[in-house]
Structure formats: C-alpha cells, structure tokens
Structure 1
Amino acid sequence: MIQLSLIGIGSGNPDHLTRQAMRAMNAADLILIPRKGEGKADLADLRREIAADVVTNPATRIAEFDLPVRDPAITDYRARVDAWHDAIAQIWADSIARDLGTTGRVALLVWGDPSLYDSTLRIAARLRPAPQIEVVPGITSIQALTAAHAIPLNEINGPVTITTGRRLRDEGFPPGVDTCVVMLDGECSFQHLPDQGVSIWWAGYAGMANQITESGPLAEAGPRIIARREAARAAHGWIMDIYLLRRA
C-alpha cells in the first residue's frame, strides 16, 4: 500500500515547520514537488529549499511534476475545478508509479495546512487504489495574517466566517457575523462592499520574507491595498494574499 503524507509547511517561512513535519519528510521514500510554471517558480523553489534543509535521510528521493492548468473551455466553475482535480490526481498517480511503484511512503509539501482551504485531500481521495493518508498540520495564512498585524482573529464571544473573494463579491459581507476572513481573492472583492464602518487587515505573501501589509478603515486602506497588490504582482509575477474584514 502507498502511504501518503500531506505535510503542512506553513505560509512561506521555513521556520514554520513543525518537528512532526520534519520527521514525516525524513520518513518518506519519495517527496513530490509541484511546479506551477515560471511565473510561480518561487513556490517550487521554497519547497526545494525546505527539503534541502530538512531531509537528512539519504534514502528519501525528490521528484517534481508540472501542475496542469484549469480548462477554460469548461464554463461551469465546479465542473472546471473537478476536471482539474482529476487531472492532478492522475499526474500524482503516474509520478508515484514511475518513481516509487506500488508500496512506500510518499510526501507532498502543502502550503499552509492541508485541511484548511486546500484541495489536496480532495485530490488524494481520487487516487486508486486508495492510499493510507496522514495529515501533518501546518501554520495557516490566517495565523500568519493575524500575527503580522498583532490582532486576535475574533472579538469576545464573536463568531468568524471564512469565505472566498468570489462569495464576498456575489453575496456581500456574510450575514450574522462582524468578522470575516477572505481567502482566494484575485480581484480585491472588498471593492464591492459599502466601505463605511468596515476595517481591513491585509497581507500579501503572509509569513514570507517579502511579506507586505496594510490596514485601516476600508475606505482609506482599500485603494492602498489595490495599488500595492498590483505592484507586488508585477514585481514577482504572482501574489498570494489574505485579509480580515471587521464591522464596527
């Protein structure tokens, strides 16, 4: 049987690695590293650096694979994502069969935590025969965001909603809460909210050496965030960002 370890590696800072993550990496026979193209080479480079620093087991091998892109011809969002996940699972299966065979331990280094706003577990569920799955939790971008701004995630006795930019744009501020965290937003969807009475705490590259932050009332901070995000994306070729919104 294949044993698959999904290892959370934090949000871009090698110091985020836990001792459990280090043990799991050294226990692996094979570590798979995804390549997302030249524009996101930093993500593969960081995984390579972590593996080079942490792995001391001479029997552990490293293999890389190219991630497929979503098919723009599929107009339905869910169907497009499902087809993309199917394609990734097939690449995983092919890589494991080629580089390891039918038995052994495989590790994937997952940005943040494998169980929070990440599809690695859903992709792993597509593998046949089903592997034995181990999840090693990691520091998430939510934790990196709140730490960067030295703020608590929630107010006293206050619930928090975690949502996406797409839903914030289409549905507005989530009802019934005063705090929401927005992930996977490529369009600065906070622009669609009434900006009065709302504050924002934003981070690009949260937890990484090139982390950038902005905060303040949405009416004032929103334009600064848009400008800094655009400049950072142009400079690096990619950006991952996250923000927290709170109503007064």
Structure 2
Amino acid sequence: MITLNLIGIGTGNPDHLTHAAVKAMNEADLILLPRKGEEKSGLADLRRTICAELLTRPVRIVEFDMPRRADQGRYIDAVTDWHDAIAALWQEQIDRHLPGGGTLALLVWGDPSLYDSSLRIVQRIAGASVKVIPGITSIQALTAAHGICLNELAEPVLITTGRQLREKGWPGAARTLVVMLDGHCAFQTLTGQPVDIWWGAYLGMPHQALASGPLHAAGPDIIKRRAALRREHGWIMDIYLLRRRP
C-alpha cells in the first residue's frame, strides 16, 4: 500500500507550515522534490530549505525533473497530457524507491485544494491512499500582508484565474475578485473601470513585494515591477485582489 501525503507549504516560507505538515514530513518514507529547469531553480531551493529546516529525522529525498506543458493546442488537452506525464513520473519514483509500499510526501505550494492539480494527478496512481494536509493559501498571505479583509460586509468573493479574466471579463455582479495564476497581468483588460487593486509577490518571503491603490494608477507600476522581479529571480509567484468601488 502506498500512502501519498499532499502537504501544503504556503508560499515557501517554512513558518507557513502547520504542525501537522511538519509531522507528516517527518513520518514520510520518501519526499519527492520537482525541478523545473535552471531558470526556476529557486523553487527547488525553497523546498530544499524547508526540508533542511523542518526534518528532524533522516527521510529519503529524491529530486526529479518536471515535464513541460505543451504551449500549442487546446489548453485542457495540454493540461491533461501534462498531468498524465507527471503521474507517470511519480509512479516511476514509487516503483523505484518504495517497491514494498510506504508513505510518499509531496510539498505543494499554497493549499492542495485551491488551483493546484496534485489531487487530480494522484487519482492516476492506482491503489494509492491519499491524505491532504492543508496549508496557508496565497489568498491568506495576501490579505494579511496588506491588512485587509477578504470580503466586504455580507458580500461574496469570487476566486478566478488570469486566463478567465482576460478571456471573459469581469464575472457577473461580483464586487470582489481574487485573481490567481496570472502570468500576463490580465487586469489590463479593465482599463478605465472604477477598481482598486491589492497585489503581492513572493508573499511571506524576505523579498516580498506589495502594491495597492486605484487600478489606473497602480496597474502600470505593478506591470513594471513584476517584469523586473521575474528577471531578477528567474520566477515569480504573485496574486492580487480586485474590488469595484460602489
């Protein structure tokens, strides 16, 4: 029997892991760490730092190279093929390092339930038992960094992606949006609308970057800062909250 523990690690700060997450890491027989190419080596370094700081007993750590998602064709088809390839790599590592069964731990950015596909990929591993250890989401880290409430009084919040905002515009009557997975600053499609933005990158890390204000004023600066930070660090993880004014 293989048990897969999906452990939420927040935004990469070891302080963001819960006691349950630390316990699950130390109870694992194997921890898999993905590598995403030289330009994103900092992501692997963060996971290595978490293991170095929080493991209190010897646990086997194995690194593997993540496959790249195809840029051509239908988005859903490309993602499905990508997930199949990742699952095959996980299965290969399980067969090699846990042939008699055991517990495998995977360190997942944010929370495994929110815009992360680890749970979908795990479903491709036959006979595996899955346990999720939730972590601090980037949404929590963003609102905490800015000292703001996620929702307005008695109002709902809609969580979406940059792709959805860019292709479909502002959804319905929602006044507050949280936008994730936006590599192209989709808020640019809202030019001229009465909207405020709260943006954050590398949340909780020493090089955390924040910006906020009316979108027409803060947006251009965020675009420039985001590009500069990506060049400096080789990767960027950011998120933002948009709120329409009454």
The TM-score by the shorter chain falls in which range?
A: over 0.9
Contact 1:141/1:207 (<8 A) preserved: no
Residue 8 of structure 1 pairs with residue 8 of structure 2: yes
TM-score w.r.t. the length of structure 2 is 0.97
1:87 equivalent in structure 2: 85
- Given that 2:12 and 2:47 are in contact with CA atoms closer than 8 Å, whether structure 1 keeps it comes out as no
- With normalisation by structure 1, the TM-score equals 0.97
Q: Measure, in 1, the Cα distance between the counterparts of 2:75 and 2:100.
A: 34
- Name the amino acid aligned to 1:13: N
Q: 1:193-208 alignment to 2 at 5 Å? A: 193-208=190-205
Asked if the contact 1:86/1:123 (under 8 Å) is kept, the reply is yes
Answer yes or no: is 1:222 the counterpart of 2:219. Answer: yes
Q: CA deviation at 1:195?
A: 3.2
Deviation at 1:136, TM superposition (A): 0.2
Task: Describe the SS at the equivalent of 2:24.
Answer: helix
- Give the aligned length: 245
- 2:102 matched residue in structure 1: 104
Cα offset, 1:7, TM superposition = 0.4
Aligned to 2:63: 64
Contact 1:2 1:132 in 2 (8 A): yes
Q: Which moved more, 1:86-95 or 1:9-18?
A: 9-18
Give the alignment's Cα RMSD to 1 decimal: 0.9
The one-character-per-residue Cα deviations of 1:17-73 (angstroms, maximum 9, x if unpaired) are 110001100100000001011111111111111111111222x21011100001234
Written as runs of structure 1 = structure 2, the 5 A alignment for 1:1-248 is 1-58=1-58, 60-73=59-72, 75-128=73-126, 130-248=127-245
The offset of 1:176, in angstroms, is 1.8
In 2: Cα distance, 1:103 partner to 1:85 partner: 23
Aligned equivalents of 2:137 and 2:146: distance in 1? 15
| Percent of aligned positions that are identical | 62
| Aligned-residue offset at 1:15 | 0.6
Q: Give the gaps of 5 or more residues in structure 1.
A: none
Show structure 2 runs of 5+ residues with no match.
Answer: none
CA distance in 2, matches of 1:88, 1:179: 34
Map Cα deviations across residues 86-117 of structure 1 (whole Å, 9 max, x no partner). Answer: 00000000011111114100000111111111
- TM-superposed CA distance for 1:159, in Å, is 0.4
Deviation sequence 1:127-161 (CA, Å, 0-9, x none): 12x31101000001101110110000000011000
